[in-house]
Amino acid sequence: MGAVRRDPVLQPVTLRDPAVQAELAALTPDLLIVAAYGLILPPAVLAIPRLGCVNVHASLLPRWRGAAPIQRALLAGDAESGVCIMRMEAGLDTGPVFARAVCPITAGMTGGELHDRLATLGAETLRNALPDLLAGRLTPEPQDPAQATYAAKLDKAEAELDWSRSALELERQVLAFNPWPVAQTRLDQQTLRIWRAQAEPESSNAPPGAVLSESGDGIRVATGSGLLRLTEVQLPGGRPLSTAAFLNAHRLIGRPVGRGMNVRAVAARTLAQVLGEGRSLALALPSALDQVNPRDRGLLQELCYGVCRWQPQLQALLDQLLERPLDRRETVVQTLLLIGLYQLRQLRIAEHAAVAETVTAARQLRKAWAASLSNAVLRSFLRRRAELLTRIENDPVARSAHPRWLLSRLQQDWPDDVETMMSANNARPPFTLRVHSSLIHRDEYRSQLAMLGKRAEPVTAVATALILAEAAEPAALPGFAEGWVSVQDAAAQLAAPLLDLQPGMRVLDACAAPGGKTGHILESAINLHVTALDCDAGRLERVRETLARLRLKAHPVIGDARQPAAWWDEIPYDRILVDAPCSATGVIRRHPDIKLLRRETDIAALAADQQAILRALWPLLRPGGRLLYATCSVLRQENQQVVAAFLAVQPDAQEIPIQAEWGCALPHGRQILPGAAGMDGFYYAVLVKRPTVGAPPCPPVRG
């Protein structure tokens, strides 16, 4: 519209760009009006208009501050919504309100319908308020922060219906997510999208998800409380149909919806890929999560991660309980028995339920013979528990749940810390966030979490880190989609500060995937020219996705760090981050399958690769530039020994000692041990390329 009328039209990628801010300021606006922008404006932009900035917000503030106020109002069953004309501040929809208008939420109203009504109402309210606002006749009304609620950005995963919930809750979910992302459920192996539905109060003894009747006026499905009558549905490849039209070609009676496989059976198959095929849990688990009910996904992850974490101990128990070893081809039965023992050993699941469900899983896996074996093994454990646990206390591998080679390495490298490290490795990891401090202060973000009932504590040694008391779905966190925070361990957040980044620098992030450190680098200084290098195209795509969410830009390059001639443009870098491929022995608590997949013979090969990467990338660093060598390993062969060997053959390389309160100083570099100050195990060493003769020495690095 503006282009047609020949009005000035700006379409900046980001309002954080000083050049864009200068262009806006040159227009000398009286007032800036924001609608559906989705981001907090930088303070520099808020200060440009003479009368400030106002936002047309689709809720009755302070209720439903945030990205999805329309859908959150419908999900909560609110009787009314509305629009507010609000003065914008640095906080999330916290400014005082100039004008408001109410819109009733009528029965059966969808998210799309409410959106359209509020769009019209918002334009009318703004038009009516503008004359008084421009004349200074409106006094804004402050919001009461005690009444504030947060409207988190929508996530596609929320659209999956959990039939154990009440019919009323499910109806609200269907209406709120029409037209996006559209409520859905599983029908056999397909996705059934549900566009419209209505709750009915009738009770039923049928299990949730059972289809009770189908007729022209709807398909009735049992829920945790009441029935849900589906009136408009859609199968993949088709279009939305009334149930009358849908039933002309399909029948649902006898086909339960939303019911996945037995969670223990799915866990057994997933773990069989890890134990039998050497596949990482990170690759095996995502497809498994789609096979179970949404309410069972947490248990599936707990079983898979827990068995990997304690496998050496569980296997020692199983070896004592079996009369003879299982056939090596029966990996799925072995993993199912380990799952049964893990439930009885570590979880608070009722013993009879753990045994019964494991037996049921054996039958669903079409291993009828294993059903009786599972029952016998698990009941034998319950009878002999004290005796069996006493025996494994005398076996260091079983007691520590660490493979013998790793146990020996830890004892060799860290004799005074080995018990603490093993305990940390067997613990569940904390849920740590990195706050983008140029968008929101850590204390302010912590307050936003507190408003949602989420407790978080800062990490003293890391200015950007917050540890949540309980894990959360990242997409549901305030501002996650807008790039305010990222999920990243506190130790990994030390990399960007150690690089000592300055505006305009050329930076190489070697081995960049999945992009967490790349994002932090770009958050740390303006106008950086960052090359994000990775040898795997699929992993590099994860870097692109990470940066897209953060609204940051880098130059992604597919290439081998050991062979820069194939990808380097021959312009030296000011900073290089070598986050080297390593044994990952410092992050076992996050990836417990490392204990099962890593072999002692891997370490020497990894150290050789680390040396090769350092030697290959060093010529790319300008004189006076800085290279940060990092690993998530705790093994000295991959850390200080690699740095020592490199310094011995590279005369223009100089180490800068890291002076910090975190970790412990080594002859070369600084090591964080797993669990120290809530952090993962990490190693850092800072190297600089000696400048021209006569230049002053580099100062120590302060952490």
Q: Which active-site residues does the annotation give?
A: 632
- Which element (helix H / strand E) includes 510? strand 506-510
Alpha helices in 618-662 (DSSP H): 640-649
Return all residues near 609 (Cβ < 8 A) that are at least 6 apart: 562, 580, 581
Tokens of 516: 């967490």
Between the two ends of the chain, the Cα-to-Cα distance in Å is 52
- 395 three-class SS: coil
263-277 vs 297-321: helix crossing angle, rounded to 10: 60
Closest C-alpha to 219, from 207, 208, 201, 232:
232
| Helix or strand (DSSP H, E) at 21 | helix 18-26
CB 52 within 8 A of CB 31: yes
DSSP, collapsed to helix, strand or coil, labels residue 326 as coil
What are the start-end ranges of the E strands in 97-189?
97-104, 150-151, 183-187
Q: Which residue has the tokens 């496998």?
A: 311
- When computed from its CA atoms, the radius of gyration of the chain, rounded to whole angstroms, is 29
Query: How far is the C-alpha of 72 from the C-alpha of 153, rounded, in Å?
Result: 9
The one-letter amino acid code at 337 reads L
Of the candidates 241, 235, 236, 204, the residue with the CA atom closest to the CA atom of residue 220: 204
List, in order, residues 6 or more apart from 315 with CB less than 8 Å away: 338, 398
d(CA 163, CA 186): 11
List the beta strands (DSSP E) in 535-669: 555-558, 573-579, 621-631, 653-656, 658-659, 664-665
Whose tokens are 């998800």? That residue is 209
Beta bridge partner(s), residue 534: 558
